[in-house]
Amino acid sequence: MFTHDCPSCGRRELIFNDQVTALENHLDGFLITFTCWCGATGTHLEERIVPAA
Ligand SMILES: [Zn+2]
C-alpha cells in the first residue's frame, strides 16, 4: 500500500495491493503498475530500502 499523486484525477490516492496490475524488479526498487480509483493506469517506483551500513 502506498500513496500516489494521480495526474488524471489530480488527487493523492491510497493504492492498495489489489489495484496493482504489474510488479517489475528495477535497479532502484520495484516499479509498480496499478490502476487508480479513477481508472487511470499509473506507475510508482517503490525504492529499495537500503540498510544503513
Ligand atoms: Zn486517479
| Ligand 1 centroid distance, CA of 51 (Å) | 32
Q: Which residues pair with 12 in a beta bridge?
A: 5
Is 52 within the bounds of a domain?
A: no
In a domain, 21, yes or no: yes
Please indicate, yes or no, if residue 16 is contained in any of the structural domains: yes
Total domain count, the chain: 1
From the CA of 45, how far away is ligand 1's center (Å)?
16
Give domain status of residue 32, yes or no: yes
Taking only the tens of pLDDT, the chain with its 53 residues reads: 889 999 999 999 999 999 999 999 998 899 999 999 999 999 999 888 878 77
* Residue 53 placed within a domain: no
The pairs formed by 43-47 with CB atoms below 8 angstroms and a separation of 24 or more are 44/2, 44/4, 44/15, 46/2
- Model-level pTM? 0.79
Write down the residue that cell numbers 503498475 correspond to.
33
DSSP string, 24-53: EEETTEEEEEEE-TTS-EEEEEEE--PPP-
Q: Which domain holds residue 28?
A: 2-47
